[in-house]
Amino acid sequence: MVVLGALSCRREKETYPNPYEGGRQPLGIKFLDEPPSVSEAEPGTIVSFKVTGLVPYRQQLSFSFNGQVAEVTELDSMHLSAKVPAMASSGNVQIVVGDQAFFGPVFNVLGKIEKDITFRANIGTNGPISKMLELADGRWLLIGGFNDYENKGAISPLNRIIVISRNEELDRTMKFGRGAYGPLSDVAVLPDGKMLVAGNFSGFDRHYWGVKRMFNICRLNADGSPDTTTVQSFTKKDTVPVWKGGTDGRIMKLFPVADGKTIAVGEFSYFVQKRYGIGTRDGLRDSLLTDSVEVSQLLRFNADGSLDSTYHYDLVRHKGRPVTNGFISDAIMQPDGKMIIVGRFSRYDDMPVSNIVRINPDGSPDRTFTAAADDFIQRINYNSVTKQYVLVGYFNNYNKSRFNRIVLVDEQFDPVPGFATGLLEGGSINFAAQMGNGLIFATGFFSKYDGVPRNGIMVLNAAGKLAPGYNAIGRFYGSLSGLVESKGVNGESRITLLGNFNSFNGQPAGNMTRLLIK
């Protein structure tokens, strides 16, 4: 042991090369902890920033506002002045020398879209909002996957459905009770003032499990309470939903039609219905049965919630006719009562299609409809003022013409003349809606459009180009489910954005925000 120790002590110290030797030396460029000459400005404004170390790199540097290169108008040892570019958006300013970048403060670029400071929902919801529907008296109904609104659900959770006033105040007069036991996807107000809510839930208020179990759809009274009745079983009376049926999977969309009937579209395979007071074979025990009928993706309810077997149904086989061979992502009802379904599929019933199909009022395919996309269509929205539709998804071609992830079409589903898409970089578009003024509001997970930095949000004109003055909004990360247009007290145009996001243009937002449109 002593000999080994001696040998170890005599071992020469080994040296290794420095792994950081030869690395780039710091350039000495630094933004100072001082605000710019103005905190926000419109395009064309010259703004001065306090920054040192730039003089040696005067001919090499590039200055940008949120990735949009700007004209440098003045530079010395202590500051840099630059003109806000026409297509600049809110975000960090940046200096680039070679392949080294130096980030400065966040700068707010002013444009023709600004936050509505009168919007009182500063905290919003703690979960996604699926839909916002205006009621006849001017109040708004909100549904989704939340259980709180403006921190007012801490003691009594606001489970997935609320009504708010025109001033965004929570309306506690509604009798939703414990709300829905699962997320809500859609809501429809019926002619008699009652409401149908649908989604992926097992009960509403206290009516859940056992004989009271619901199947992804519920009818509510005008005051928000579940529409229930009493049935006599063998041993007792039970309170059960008046609405008789439901589905075994999520209902995505509801479309009330004539005679009190309602079409449902979703991710289901069966229509299901409870039957009460049916005895077992030995006649000794009370029994509850669940009937099921194979009906996938699309069905029509009668006014009482039973299955309408006159709608896209095979009476010989006693099951629904085939719908798509893939999945449906969105659906919309045309003014003429026909329905458009989009998604990823190549057949509807016995008819070859390409990710989009039009359905007649009886559920059969409209064989005169020839629109086609070469890949998945994710969303479709219609504007009743312009009478045009916007489709977005992963397609590169629509009706055999090149359109990059988004297309604007007329009521015949032909591309609107003059509309052409620019190059989309860094991802895809997952939502787009046209406003009454013809502008298209689009969001997704993209980084550039037509070579201009756009961090997940953009506004296009009817030609598919970035609308000047409307693209100063900064980074958006999340997804939208809807855009609701309205008018302010002075007649100004407003849009309320709904979905799943916690910030907008660098400001906190609880899944909803309202903007003024100039």
The sign one gets for the Cα dihedral 330, 336, 338, 340 is negative
pLDDT digits (tens, 9 = 90+) for 108-120: 999 999 999 999 9
Of all residues in the chain, the percent with pLDDT exceeding 90 is: 83
Name the pLDDT band for 5 (thresholds 50, 70, 90). Answer: very low
Q: Which residues, at least 6 apart from 358, have a Cβ–Cβ distance to it below 8 Å?
A: 334, 338, 339, 340, 341, 365, 366, 369, 371, 413
Name the pLDDT band for 275 (thresholds 50, 70, 90). Answer: confident
Asked if residue 309 has pLDDT above 70, the reply is: yes
Cα 264 to its chain centre, rounded Å, is 20
* Residue 362 placed within a domain: no
Q: 78 lies in which domain range?
A: 30-110
Q: What is the pLDDT of residue 18?
A: 56
Average pLDDT of span 393-403: 97
Name the pLDDT band for 490 (thresholds 50, 70, 90). Answer: confident
Beta bridge partners of 239: 230
- CATH code where residue 100 lies: 2.60.40.10
* Structure letter (DSSP) for residue 125: B
Asked if residue 491 has pLDDT above 50, the reply is: yes
Classify residue 317 as left (phi > 0), alpha (psi -120 to 50) or beta: alpha
For residue 407, report the phi and psi dihedrals to the nearest 5 degrees.
Answer: -150, 145
* Residue 69 placed within a domain: yes
* Residue 200 placed within a domain: no
**40-41 and 100-109 strand pairing:** parallel
Q: What is the pLDDT of residue 14?
A: 63
Q: What is the pLDDT of residue 207?
A: 58
Total domains in the fold of the chain: 1
* Residue 224 placed within a domain: no
pLDDT digits (tens, 9 = 90+) for 177-202: 999 999 999 999 999 999 999 999 98
Asked if residue 1 has pLDDT above 80, the reply is: no
Asked if residue 155 has pLDDT above 90, the reply is: no
Question: Taking the model in full, what pTM does it have?
Answer: 0.90
Least confident range from 118-132, 178-192, 212-226: namely 212-226
d(CA 79, CA 53): 9
Q: What is the pLDDT of residue 513?
A: 97
Q: Is 85 helix (H, G, I), strand (E, B) or coil?
A: coil
Q: Which residues, at least 6 apart from 293, have a Cβ–Cβ distance to it below 8 Å?
A: 270, 271, 272, 307, 318, 319, 320
Asked if residue 282 has pLDDT above 90, the reply is: no
Least confident range from 282-291, 296-305, 370-379: namely 282-291
The sign one gets for the Cα dihedral 351, 355, 358, 362 is positive
Q: What is the dihedral of CA 432, 381, 369, 355, to 10 degrees?
A: 50
Asked if residue 2 has pLDDT above 80, the reply is: no
Q: Is 192 exposed, middle or buried (0-12, 13-18, 19+ CB in 10 A)?
A: exposed
* Residue 165 placed within a domain: no
Q: Is 517 helix (H, G, I), strand (E, B) or coil?
A: strand
The tokens describing 260, both together, are 């009190």
Strands in 160-303 per DSSP E: 161-164, 184-189, 195-199, 203-204, 207-208, 217-220, 228-232, 237-241, 245-247, 251-256, 262-266, 270-275, 289-294, 298-301
Q: What is the pLDDT of residue 208?
A: 52
Name the pLDDT band for 410 (thresholds 50, 70, 90). Answer: very high
**C-alpha closest to that of 453 among 85, 110, 111, 61:** 85
Average pLDDT of span 145-168: 93
Asked if residue 278 has pLDDT above 70, the reply is: no
Q: Is 365 exposed, middle or buried (0-12, 13-18, 19+ CB in 10 A)?
A: buried
Q: What is the pLDDT of residue 281?
A: 60
Asked if residue 249 has pLDDT above 60, the reply is: yes
Residue by residue, what is the 3-state secondary structure of 192-221?
A: CCCEEEEECCCEECCEECHHHCCCCEEEEC
Q: What is the pLDDT of residue 209?
A: 47
Name the pLDDT band for 27 (thresholds 50, 70, 90). Answer: confident
pLDDT digits (tens, 9 = 90+) for 64-105: 999 999 999 999 999 999 999 999 999 999 999 998 999 999
Classify residue 98 as left (phi > 0), alpha (psi -120 to 50) or beta: left
Q: Is 362 helix (H, G, I), strand (E, B) or coil?
A: coil
Q: What is the pLDDT of residue 345?
A: 98
**C-alpha closest to that of 421 among 387, 441, 396:** 396
* Structure letter (DSSP) for residue 23: P
Asked if residue 231 has pLDDT above 90, the reply is: no
pLDDT digits (tens, 9 = 90+) for 426-467: 999 999 999 999 999 999 999 999 999 999 999 999 999 999
d(CA 496, CA 505): 14
* Residue 156 placed within a domain: no
Residue 39's alpha-carbon distances to 35, 289, 405, 472, in angstroms, are: 7, 67, 36, 14
Name the pLDDT band for 474 (thresholds 50, 70, 90). Answer: very high
**C-alpha closest to that of 168 among 205, 117, 128:** 117
The sign one gets for the Cα dihedral 82, 84, 89, 90 is positive
* Residue 79 placed within a domain: yes
* Residue 188 placed within a domain: no
